[in-house]
Amino acid sequence: MKKQSRIVALVLITVLLVTLIGVTAKNIMKDVNLGLDLQGGFEVLYKVKPLEKGDKIDDTAVKATSETLESRVNVLGVSEPKIQIEEGNRIRVQLAGVKNQNEAREILSTSANLTIRDANDKLLLSGKDLVQGAAKQGFKQNTNEPNVLLKLKSADKFRQVTEKVSKMNPNIMVIWMDFEEGKDSYKAEVKREQEGKQPKYVSAASVDQPINSSDVEISGGFNGTDGLQRAKNIADLLNAGALPVKLDEIYSTSVGAQFGQDALQKTLLASAVGVGIIFLFMLLYYRLPGLIAVITLSAYIYLTLVAFNLINGVLTLPGIAALVLGVGMAVDANIIMYERIKDELKIGRSIKQAYHKGSQSSFLTIFDANITTVLAALVLFVFGVSSVKGFATMLLLAILMSFITSVFFTRLLLSLVVHSNMFNDKFSWFGVKQADRHDLSEGMDVHNLHSRWDRIDFVKLAKPLLIASAITILLGIASLSIFKLNLGIDFASGTRVDIKSSQPIKVEELKQELETVNLPTDNVTLAGNNNENGVVQYKEALTKSQIQDLKTSIDDKYGFEPNVNTVSPVIGKELAKNAMIATLIASLGIILYVTLRFEWRMGLTSVLALLHDAFLIVAIFSVIRLEVDMTFIAAVLTIIGYSINDTIVTFDRVRENLHKIKVITAPEQIDRIVNSSIRQTMTRSINTVLTVIIVVVALILLGAPSIFNFSVALLIGLLSGVFSSIFIAVPLWGILKKRQLRNNGGRLVVYEEKKANDEKIYV
């Protein structure tokens, strides 16, 4: 009897989901917090140091500094700034969407220590002589030019100071912000002003006679279009309070708004193309279950974004990649279950029987495969910084949501289809031809089914391929020793400048432009179809003032504000150290989990396979000279999680095949288990990696240039991951198992009884 109500329920759920997505998608996308790399802005990591020798930096001083920075950010009017205190007396500030990055950097790092000095740079008055909170921005009565009005605590002291200056030659009273002893001087700044550059001092006024007042007017230094804003900023800074410490920039990254917008558009287009092709593949290959997969995958993307907004996550460029990679993981869960259902249908089970058996036997496999990726994502979250942490956050959410939608929601919808009884004899709707079905009375088992891979002896193939892998590793070691890695500034330290232009960039013109700001370099490369993008690198980390001059010069020349990343040697070493620790912890966590879930031989060979994949990525990057940065490490750790995913699925089938025999007495039995396990999961392995590769290739061809290296690393790792699972992990396990067989005198008990109710444990 047909139960059409279940199909009606399926249609209603689908319509409700589509309607919900259609009605709310715009608002959800609007509420997503975009990271610096998607909307522009800058991030800076400060090292808090004593202002004067002998001072100590404690938690109270760092917290007070953080609060002062927060009050200054409020002056900028930036929405949702992030200011975090980190270990080692560090403060990280992230300002997404800030329009004037130079101004923001100046306001943040200015100590706001106002001093009044003579022309010989001798200190006359300091910020301690000011009435706190009394500074205000005003206008001169006669000319209406901007000025800053201050109030001193002692009018008599100011009279004595002005009387002294009036008798000097030159009789100049200079007002400074953050004067640095031994570095700054009035005479040097006068020369800069004569060259048409903005002097560092705020104001320099002639004093002809003593001034008997507590009111001080700073004027004359606020000409130009930004004069009013500069005057307002100084007043605000003085009222916000001077920083009790000195701030050293040890890491910074700034992204121009146009760079962010372009990156967002390109990556969204690439993601849409990749996901669209995956949907088409699932429909064509898996038919009706494929349609269910398309529905649940749409729900996955929607729910992941909703959850991301609920936790106030910040979406970065790698974060979008993580979301799309999650589609591949969600597809994997569907494919594992669908392949199980197809196997059950082939041995003669009914649609209902195949559904129940297939969904039941696939659950633990899906769970194991996702847990290992979670381990890698957690390590990334703990050790990652900035956009890498955003990638890890999205990856963790993606895994959780893909598990929920692909396991529970898929089963709900598929259950409605199966129990409607409308497709009881329509096996082709589930991707199985009638000619491929056996009669259940034949006693055929899913592990004995014939497949297109039966002609391939994977054990025999593995031997030369293992040798080839060993040779590849040796060549990789040779390449690394000769060419080493092309380390980006994340690890090598220095400054990287990404330039965008609407017209082709000429190297010589760009070099000349850099020379005008006293920042010459020969390390200039061009990219893009018409050389409209350029990359300039410096071995040293540029200072705040150098970055400001550089950004202004490039913006004036090419019409777009450049991206500037600086990393100090201290941070470069830390990032390299953390990358090594992260890889080690992820590997140990995975080997421990696989050992507990399976056996230590499977854990060991799994980790050997994934280390092979990680090393292969590193070696190929060494040969092709692509730059290695933090997103590269994120890609390697993702592949570690993803590679083990594929290996676990195959080992899960090895374990099932071992269930069929209690005692191994010949090496040939182990070879048969290895071969049959690989053959039975081969279609799933290819289909899964194919769907993820589709997305990654789309990101390579259509995505933003800033994640090109990241995507290439993923592609290498995905291809290597399939290879290592089939030809390294499982065959190596077979070799270790044969050794165990020999050591046991040619007899190996696979299972032993644990309880009287015949529960078995793996040995």
3-state SS, 466-511, equals: HHHHHHHHHHHHHHHHHCCCEECHHHHCEEEEEEECCCCCCHHHHH
List Cβ neighbours of 557 (8 Å cut-off, separation of 6 or more): 513
Task: Judge if 535 and 575 occupy the same domain.
Answer: no
**For the domain that residue 52 is a member of, what is the CATH number?**
3.30.70
How many structural domains does the chain have? 5
Task: Judge if 552 and 600 occupy the same domain.
Answer: no
Task: Judge if 682 and 585 occupy the same domain.
Answer: yes
Residue 255 included in any domain: no
Instruction: Report which of residues 502 and 243 the model is more confident about.
Output: 502
Is 485 within 8 Å of 572 (Cβ atoms)? no
Distances (CA, A) of 553 to 107, 350, 519, 538, 631: 20, 72, 11, 16, 29
In this structure, the strands spanning 627-628 and 486-487 are parallel
Task: Judge if 594 and 467 occupy the same domain.
Answer: yes
Domain boundary among 80, 107, 134: 107
Measured in whole angstroms, how far is the alpha carbon of residue 182 from the centre of its chain?
42
Distances (CA, A) of 470 to 271, 477, 674, 734: 36, 11, 21, 18
Task: Outline where 181-316 has alpha helix (H).
Answer: 186-194, 227-240, 257-310
Distances (CA, A) of 362 to 222, 359, 676: 71, 5, 17
Residue 436 included in any domain: no
Amino acid 447: pLDDT: 65
Range of the domain at 541: 494-567
152 DSSP assignment: B
Interatomic CA distance for residues 710 and 762, integer angstroms = 40
Q: Which of 53-62, 150-159, 420-429 has the lowest mean pLDDT?
A: 53-62
Q: Is the pLDDT of residue 751 over 70?
A: no
Task: Judge if 540 and 637 occupy the same domain.
Answer: no
484's tokens: 């080493």
Show the CA angle centred on residue 754, arms to residues 749 and 760, nearest 5°.
60
Domain boundary among 214, 242, 270: 242
Q: Which sign does the torsion angle of CA 14, 17, 20, 22 carry?
A: negative
Task: Judge if 368 and 285 occupy the same domain.
Answer: yes
Interatomic CA distance for residues 417 and 433, integer angstroms = 19
Selection from 11-15, 33-37, 151-155, 183-187 with the highest mean pLDDT: 11-15
Residue 450 included in any domain: no
429 DSSP assignment: G
Q: Is the pLDDT of residue 760 over 60?
A: no
Over residues 653-670, the mean pLDDT reads 85
Task: Judge if 464 and 514 occupy the same domain.
Answer: no
**Residue 276, CB-side half-sphere exposure with 13 Å CA sphere:** 7
Amino acid 225: pLDDT: 67
Partners of 263 in the β-ladder: none
Write out the H or E segment, with its range, that includes residue 84: strand 82-86
- Using alpha carbons only, how large is the chain's radius of gyration in Å? 33
Residue 273 included in any domain: yes
Amino acid 756: pLDDT: 38
Amino acid 75: pLDDT: 63
Tell me the pLDDT tens digit for each residue of 125-144.
877 787 777 778 888 777 77
74 DSSP assignment: H
Residue 31 included in any domain: no
SS (H, E, C) 358-427: HHHHHHHHHHHHHHHHHHHHHHHHHHCCCHHHHHHHHHHHHHHHHHHHHHHHHHHHHHHHHCCCCCCCCH
Q: Of 573, 575, 549, 543, nearest to 562 (Cα)?
A: 549
Amino acid 753: pLDDT: 41
Interatomic CA distance for residues 26 and 22, integer angstroms = 8
**Residue 691, CB-side half-sphere exposure with 13 Å CA sphere:** 31
Task: Judge if 223 and 363 occupy the same domain.
Answer: no
Residue 398 included in any domain: yes
Amino acid 111: pLDDT: 63
Domain boundary among 543, 567, 591: 567
Residue 438 included in any domain: no
Tell me the pLDDT tens digit for each residue of 318-352.
888 788 778 877 888 888 888 888 888 888 888 89
Interatomic CA distance for residues 467 and 473, integer angstroms = 10
Interatomic CA distance for residues 643 and 723, integer angstroms = 10
Amino acid 763: pLDDT: 46
Amino acid 295: pLDDT: 93
Distances (CA, A) of 30 to 260, 264, 305, 616: 16, 13, 11, 40
Tell me the pLDDT tens digit for each residue of 263-277.
888 888 888 898 899
Partners of 49 in the β-ladder: 246
Residue 10 included in any domain: no
Task: Judge if 643 and 627 occupy the same domain.
Answer: yes
Q: How confident is the model at residue 712 (pLDDT cuts 50, 70, 90)?
A: very high
Distances (CA, A) of 192 to 188, 218, 468: 7, 20, 64
Amino acid 224: pLDDT: 67
Task: Judge if 394 and 330 occupy the same domain.
Answer: yes
3-state helix, strand, coil in the chain (%, to 5): 60, 15, 25
Task: Judge if 394 and 500 occupy the same domain.
Answer: no
Is 34 within 8 Å of 314 (Cβ atoms)? yes
Phi, psi of 204 (to 5 degrees): -140, 110
Task: Judge if 711 and 605 occupy the same domain.
Answer: yes
Tell me the pLDDT tens digit for each residue of 684-706.
888 888 888 888 899 899 888 87
Distances (CA, A) of 458 to 50, 122, 208, 656, 682: 65, 83, 96, 18, 11
Is 421 within 8 Å of 694 (Cβ atoms)? no
**For the domain that residue 649 is a member of, what is the CATH number?**
1.20.1640.10
Partners of 537 in the β-ladder: 496
Q: Is the pLDDT of residue 116 over 60?
A: yes
